[in-house]
Structure 1
């Protein structure tokens, strides 16, 4: 059954972003349509695939059983806090135990992030969002 879930936007406000020195950061757990999700961010790109970009992924916390799958049509974005011209991509993916996250290795270039006029990093705060448009579960 395909559903448009209520409360489908997950917003993660990351303060002191310039001090983030780990490879990967995960948000708190968000509940959308009774399913649990996290947003994953690689501040310096997804390992060596995108070293000059910020990588953002949606992660299903619930996909642990091998016969359980979730189809999701979703958007990932980094908010432009000044001009309202967000860095945004849309994807459709089947989440499963073998592939429980999906996203974009080059959602935003480091050059655009560091350009203050673009509005992505304001007061050393980055705002990342995931929006689930539609989802369906299969067992």
Structure 2
């Protein structure tokens, strides 16, 4: 296991102008693997219309060697641009060629996001950060 150095800051201008569905950030690299953030601004699945959904995904699962799994711990954060009281959550997950990402369908309530006094959405701009805290590749012995 290694503590990787890798964080992405994704600034989304004109959030309200994004089309329905999901959107990906630019790709960033941590330990020779490419990653991207995935956002559903109006929520996904049962959280649609209630909570913003946010995930971190491998950009290309073919980079995983066959029979290997990838464990990572991650922090996802939405910046409070006014007060510095960021909205954040950590998670960990095992990835494989079949499961290439993880995160939260219900990351942040839309009413919190859209509350101007909270400072998360300023001039229709949202700032998201994704940071990989721990990363390990393990051979599957099963």
Normalised by the size of structure 2, how large is the TM-score? 0.90
CA–CA separation in structure 2 for the residues paired with 1:67 and 1:51: 38
SS at match of 1:3: coil
Which one has a larger percent helix, Structure 1 or Structure 2? 2
Deviations 1:29-81 (A, max 9, x none): 10012211000000110134342110000001232354232110111111111
1:73 corresponding residue in structure 2: 73
The yes-or-no answer on 1:3 pairing with 2:2 is: yes
SS at match of 1:117: helix
The yes-or-no answer on 1:61 pairing with 2:59 is: yes
Deviations 1:85-129 (A, max 9, x none): 111110111111111010011111110111111011011110111
SS at match of 2:74: strand
1:19 corresponding residue in structure 2: 17
SS at match of 2:47: coil
CA–CA separation in structure 2 for the residues paired with 1:37 and 1:131: 10
The yes-or-no answer on 1:103 pairing with 2:75 is: no
CA deviation after TM superposition for structure 1 residue 138, in Å: 2.4
1:28 corresponding residue in structure 2: 26
Q: CA RMSD in A?
A: 1.4
Any conservation in 1 of the 2:45–2:105 contact (CA below 8 Å)?
A: no
CA–CA separation in structure 1 for the residues paired with 2:33 and 2:124: 31
Moved over 6 A (4+): none
SS at match of 2:45: coil
Q: Which runs of 5+ in 2 are unaligned?
A: none
The higher radius of gyration belongs to 2
SS at match of 1:122: coil
Alignment of 1:44-59 (within 5 A): 44-59=42-57
CA–CA separation in structure 2 for the residues paired with 1:49 and 1:111: 13
